[in-house]
Amino acid sequence: MTQVRNALVIVEVVVAVLLMAAVLLQTPKATGLGGTIGGGDGGIGGGYRTRRGLERQLFYTTWVLVSAFLIVSVANIWFNQHVK
């Protein structure tokens, strides 16, 4: 049973590192408080634009990694609480 616990911890760390990389690689947009105060992108016509190509794939990959991290974290907690 210790092998499963160790595997869950290793998978959680790997997914966490991949998630951090995916978030850092995303294109920053002038949204939120910074964009509201005046950070804007300097373009004409507002700050909304669609995600295309690699940016869209990175966005969806980030959501998959978030889901995987949540599932692995809950499994890790459940396994440590219920399996002795």
Query: What is the tens place of the pLDDT at every residue in 14-23?
Result: 999 999 999 9
Confidence grade of residue 2 (pLDDT, cut at 50, 70, 90): confident
Q: What is the pTM for the complete model shown?
A: 0.72
pLDDT of residue 32 exceeding 70? no
Q: Which residue has the higher pLDDT, 80 or 1?
A: 80
How many angstroms separate the CA atoms of 83 and 3, rounded?
A: 12
**Segment 44-70, tens digit of pLDDT:** 555 556 767 888 899 899 999 999 999
Q: Identify whether the C-beta of residue 68 lies closer than 8 Å to the C-beta of residue 80.
A: no
The count of residues in the chain is 84
